[in-house]
Structure 1
Amino acid sequence: MRNFLTMVAALAFAGPAFSNDIVILNGRVIDPETGLDAIRHVAINDNQITAVSEFELEGDVVVDATGHVVAPGFIDLHAHGMALPDMRMQAMQGVTTILELESGVLPIGDWYDEMAKATNPINYGAAAAWTFARIATFSHTAPVATPGYFQDAQSDTEWKLDIATKEEQARILSLVEQGLNEGGLGIGINAGYAPGYGQKEYFALAKMAAEHNVATYTHVRYASNLEPQGSFEAIKELIANAALTGAHMHICHINSSSLSDIHATLDLVERAQAQGINVTVEAYPYGAGNTVVGAAMFSGDGWRERMDSTAQNFQLGTERMTEEELADYQANDPGTFITWHFLDEADPQGLSLLDASVTHPSTNIASDSVFWSYFNEHGMVVTYTGDDWPLPDNVFTHPRAAGTFAKILRSYVRERGLMSMSTAINKMSLMPAQVLEDFVPQMRKKGRIQVGMDADIVVFDPATISDYATYEHANQPAEGVQTLLVNGDFTVKDGDLVLDASSGQAIRRVTKQ
């Protein structure tokens, strides 16, 4: 029936008397939901796909996609950088929606209000932030919906390591629930940054998620190759809460959370899913993470042995850190973001562990991108939020902010053949939409190339799409995306960024509040 309706729609718009707003002609159209993978012509009117046709269409604007793939715009479930430079770098690799789900923000209403005032070339949204609620509770402050609120709290330890009293837990849960009532996309549980929470608190968050019919997105509390308090234990804790409450619980960046124990943790995920437990998972295609230097996991006795890391595994800007520099930043500027090399991609064994996480059938691709930074005149690391394009030479972050999705298409599909093109597109578009669509109706119209779906579309050259960002020079945009449409408007056109593009819309739950 779906194919019949698609053909009817295509015929309706195929005649010479009708001209569409935009038509994309002669492209290899891949729709991961229906399994379509064929040369087709696509029509867009207003902000929707109105035809997917075997017959050539007419349009006011024509995009010739000969030799190119036409796919749903990519959806990044895990993006911390939400400012204009972050969105632009994401757009250049085919991303049409970025979501701050792992950390989240509070208050949600304030955040959406501020985002609505900004220039947003792609779609955006956020979850309700448990860590913000914890910081606010232990510091006796009101949460502020900015990344700086989280960074500035890194010098405090109570919210990271102390079990909440009954009264404190009640306030934490109240703040999180307020975020859900204001339209948050679930609960962001950045547990790796506050591993001292109590079991009852995490269980209560899972129970709240089930009651509100939303998901949790957890950076699990431990990242360690050794037991006790290892990665295996942390993943098992999440699965137990999902099983006991019925909540949908999403595991963030299982690659960096599992370190070299990835096969054991993926086995846990497989066993849980086989039992019908609603657990989903994501990974990014890099052997390094990006986090604040004062994170709780890099403190206390034995962390180097547990994580098989020293200061030399940490990179700030273009240079690896010394033990003296690490101690200085942890004491005086613990909110500074650094790159943490937890696996060596040049080592075949390290690369095989990374590949296991990325290629697993259950794995969504998500970047965990972090905002762009630079050293100011005082030598302090500050966030770059300007509108220069290309980005200034002196800004830096993790290369995943500019290259995650392009790297999948270059390395995993074209160069190494570890996954098919359709599999890669599924992992980057439909699967992320399905993580959310049960409780965020907007996502039911994303991640698909079908009549009636939102016109979030990427057109790219499979022979040339590539990531160029490196750990030393991350501010190199991806290449190979010919066209990016966000809600039917051009964000990338003829391979170039449209500098005044601002068609991104808020992704937000509709609540009864």
Structure 2
Amino acid sequence: MKKTLVALLGASCLSGGLAVAQQSIVDDNAATFGWYDNRDWTNVELADPGDRSSGFVPVDWKVYRSGDKPYDVVITGGRVIDPASGLDAVRNLGIVGNRIVTVSEEALNGTEVIEAEGLVVAPGFIDTHAHGMDPFTNKMMLRDGVTSAGDLEYGSLQIAKFYEDREGISLINYFTGVSHEYARIAAMDGVIATENTFVYPVRAKAGADGESAWAERFPTDDEFAEMKEWIRQGMKDGALSFATTIGYFPAFAHTWELYELQKIAAEYGRISSGHFRMLPHDPPPLEYIMGYKEAMANAVGLGIPLLLSHNNNRGWEEMHEIVVGARENGMVIWDEQYPWAAGGPNAGAPPLTPENFEYWGQKIEEVLFDPAQDKFLTEEEFMKMREEAPETNLLWFARPQEWVPQFCATPDMVIANDVLPMLQDDGTFLPLDFPYEEWAGHPRGAGSRGLCFRLNRENNVPLMLTINNASTFSARMLCKAGVQQMCVRGRVQEGMIADLVVLDPETIRENADYGPGKNGLPTTGIPHVLVSGQVAVRDSVVDLDVRAGVAIRHTPVAD
């Protein structure tokens, strides 16, 4: 029976016993990583021999395996680490199109060859909590090894538009949920969000008349009916989840509001995900994880999968243990974390009031930092910003630094960076050639995976565990939740999509930090990244001509 790392290791979370934790991951994955039915994907025969959607290897690939034709790309001599099977050995990979055709000890012939001696070949990293999804943010995340990213916390309002806007031009794979908060803003403030997955400008527009109804009162019956229609349309258009940020309006949403909207997710067989009710520092009986438990109770009753965003506040260990236990009892549920002591709210976020900071026992001038000015804000400065520029990204130092290595080392708690994009003065997203060192925002957008790899290396946490948390476990749970395209990702196996990361286990690290000029510095130690079989990062340089990202989406449902 699997246990959390805290349970395995006792109070000193990083003191030893990590081999036990690693074996737990391998045993779990070996037992269940058929995901749907434990088939060996390489031996599946489908009616249509050209259909590769389920990971099946078409017969015509034999010509590559026989050596009659060169593979499109060969990765040679790398140490392949595949948490799905437990493989940790030197292998050569042969790739044709977007698929891994061969994983072999034999030498392979390729049109393009990537030399990987001394390096690790891992499945591409997956992030379920990325806001904005703009080209520069995706470029920054590519350098951190991310090949698939989406927003399952805020989500989007116009799901069809989200996917249409990115088709054929995205550097990485992309997905989203349909947004509870955007639906409230549309119904209660009359603002229709077009800034897909970046809510701060939308909040500013909603409050431009001096009232943010979405966060300051309960909806009327007609407004709630409109909200439900927005959510239902998002499901029809292929959203992966119902994405809520009820934690930003906890006192103005009845329990039945959340339940009724989760019921729509159940109608369409989708995930419920997001930032649930309660605030990080609230005392009993309003503790933070009570919001998770509310959503979890609804999900159990409705029989739907549940993803808990950023489980890295007070009570996180307790909640993770509950999540693990629920999974062992058959529930499709998982949690994520970003490995930083600071959060990244906007200045106008409804919970950030002087009264709340006093209630939490925090001083604004000690916890609220403006990365653009490289300074902590006084209460007067903060209140002026809240009034005049509520969309401004801030850093809120909300949790102890000593928790961060524990987040990274906890098995099966996935890494998700919660990145927030930076906007130009005219409100548009940054151009692709924007300098990394001029990016002013939370460093989690640039270096969350690099940070966990470095911390886990320094604390002797096995690579298998880190790669599992960065990639494989997200793919596994999304697949179990019905996202078919994730069933062929997160694995370095024959027949799988060739979303791959080639990394140096001895040098991979974050360079992003809170200091000026450092917020957007890219991770180093990841020389090569492949998206859908195409080399998107070569020798640590992003190839901007490679737009191999594809939509991760449920099939739209006709009216």
- TM-score (structure 1 length as normaliser): 0.90
* C-alpha distance 254-49 of structure 1, shift in aligned 2 (>3 A): same
- Equivalent of 2:202 in 129, 149, 158: 149
Post-superposition CA distance 1:220-268 (Å, at most 9, x none): 121224123220321221221122222212110010xx2x332333344
Separation in 2 of the partners of 1:170 and 1:326? 36
Separation in 1 of the partners of 2:41 and 2:133? 37
Deviation at 1:373, TM superposition (A): 4.5
Secondary structure of the structure 2 residue equivalent to 1:298: coil
Separation in 1 of the partners of 2:357 and 2:285? 12
Name the residue aligned to 1:348. none
Q: Aligned pair count?
A: 495
- Equivalent of 1:386 in 431, 456, 462: 431
Matched, 1:458 2:512: no
* C-alpha distance 141-286 of structure 1, shift in aligned 2 (>3 A): closer
Matched, 1:49 2:100: yes
* C-alpha distance 154-262 of structure 1, shift in aligned 2 (>3 A): farther
- Equivalent of 1:191 in 246, 253, 263: 246
Name the residue aligned to 1:416. 459
Separation in 1 of the partners of 2:103 and 2:113? 15
Matched, 1:431 2:482: no
Separation in 2 of the partners of 1:124 and 1:113? 11
Separation in 2 of the partners of 1:362 and 1:451? 24
Deviation at 1:299, TM superposition (A): 2.6
Give the alignment of 1:425-504 within 5 angstroms. Answer: 425-437=467-479, 438-472=481-515, 473-504=518-549
Q: Which amino acid aligns with 1:420?
A: P
Name the residue aligned to 1:329. 385
- Equivalent of 1:139 in 189, 193, 196: 189
- Equivalent of 2:367 in 294, 310, 313: 313
Name the residue aligned to 1:395. 439
Secondary structure of the structure 1 residue equivalent to 2:472: helix
Separation in 1 of the partners of 2:84 and 2:363? 41
Q: Structure 2 regions of 5+ residues with no counterpart?
A: 1-38, 44-55
Report which stretch shifted further, 59-68 or 472-481: 472-481
Asked whether the 8 Å contact 1:262–1:357 carries over to 2, the reply is no
Separation in 2 of the partners of 1:128 and 1:164? 18
* C-alpha distance 304-435 of structure 1, shift in aligned 2 (>3 A): farther
Separation in 1 of the partners of 2:388 and 2:276? 26
Deviation at 1:309, TM superposition (A): 5.0
Matched, 1:362 2:412: yes
Post-superposition CA distance 1:393-420 (Å, at most 9, x none): 43211111110111111112x1122x31
Give the alignment of 1:80-479 within 5 angstroms. Answer: 80-116=131-167, 119-146=169-196, 147=198, 148-153=201-206, 156-195=211-250, 196-223=252-279, 224-255=281-312, 258=313, 260-299=314-353, 301-306=355-360, 308=362, 310-317=364-371, 318-345=374-401, 351=402, 353-373=403-423, 376=425, 384-388=429-433, 390-391=435-436, 393-412=437-456, 414-417=457-460, 419-437=461-479, 438-472=481-515, 473-479=518-524
Give the alignment of 1:57-72 within 5 angstroms. Answer: 57-72=108-123
Separation in 2 of the partners of 1:298 and 1:149? 17
Separation in 1 of the partners of 2:431 and 2:412? 37
Separation in 1 of the partners of 2:173 and 2:549? 4
Q: Which amino acid aligns with 2:531?
A: V
Post-superposition CA distance 1:356-412 (Å, at most 9, x none): 4443333111110111246x5xxxx95651121543x43211111110111111112
- TM-score (structure 2 length as normaliser): 0.83
Separation in 2 of the partners of 1:366 and 1:485? 20
Overall identity of the aligned pairs, in %? 31
Deviation at 1:191, TM superposition (A): 1.4
Separation in 2 of the partners of 1:93 and 1:387? 16
Asked whether the 8 Å contact 1:79–1:100 carries over to 2, the reply is yes
Asked whether the 8 Å contact 2:42–2:494 carries over to 1, the reply is no
Separation in 2 of the partners of 1:268 and 1:17? 53
Asked whether the 8 Å contact 1:27–1:39 carries over to 2, the reply is yes
Separation in 2 of the partners of 1:203 and 1:327? 35
* C-alpha distance 271-49 of structure 1, shift in aligned 2 (>3 A): closer
Separation in 1 of the partners of 2:332 and 2:483? 16
Deviation at 1:307, TM superposition (A): 6.6
* C-alpha distance 250-4 of structure 1, shift in aligned 2 (>3 A): closer
Deviation at 1:503, TM superposition (A): 1.1
Separation in 2 of the partners of 1:457 and 1:322? 45
Deviation at 1:145, TM superposition (A): 4.2
Secondary structure of the structure 2 residue equivalent to 1:187: strand
Post-superposition CA distance 1:184-237 (Å, at most 9, x none): 111110112222211001011222212211101120121224123220321221
Separation in 2 of the partners of 1:339 and 1:71? 32
Report which stretch shifted further, 151-160 or 361-370: 151-160
